[in-house]
Amino acid sequence: MIERHQFFLETFTENMTTQYTKFMASMTENHMSFLQTFTAAQVQQNADLQGAITEQHRKASEQQRIYLDVQRRTQEELLMEQKLTRATVQNLLSTKRERSFTLEIDEHALRRIQDNPAYTVRPM
């Protein structure tokens, strides 16, 4: 009876040890698989986030470049408009001076024509 009991205990212990070893190996394998999957998912998520951040930086840089380009063009257009306005004002003043001068000449010529009938009047 003792032998049977001892045999039963040895068999039971062996079976439990084998089952426990298999269980622990399975748990370790499952845990490692989970960690690998989780780590791979984290790496992919980090890569996706980094890609999204990089894309946002690229878009922001492009928008800033466009804004600065538009601002530069606007300043150039304003400068050209100022130059054009100055040129127009100078042209108007110059034309007014010429007209005044021309009118003075015309009045003087008119007096000379009126004073001396030898001159002929020609249209301008």
CB atoms within 10 A of CB 113: 14
For 18-77, the pLDDT digits (tens) are: 999 999 999 999 999 998 998 999 999 999 999 999 999 999 999 999 999 999 999 999
For 87-104, the pLDDT digits (tens) are: 888 877 776 555 554 545
Domain ranges of the chain: 78-114
Identify whether the C-beta of residue 58 lies closer than 8 Å to the C-beta of residue 50. no
Q: How far is the C-alpha of 62 from the C-alpha of 60, rounded, in Å?
A: 5
CB-based contacts of 58, cutoff 8 Å, min separation 6: none
Residue 110: which of 119, 101, 97 has the closest Cα?
119
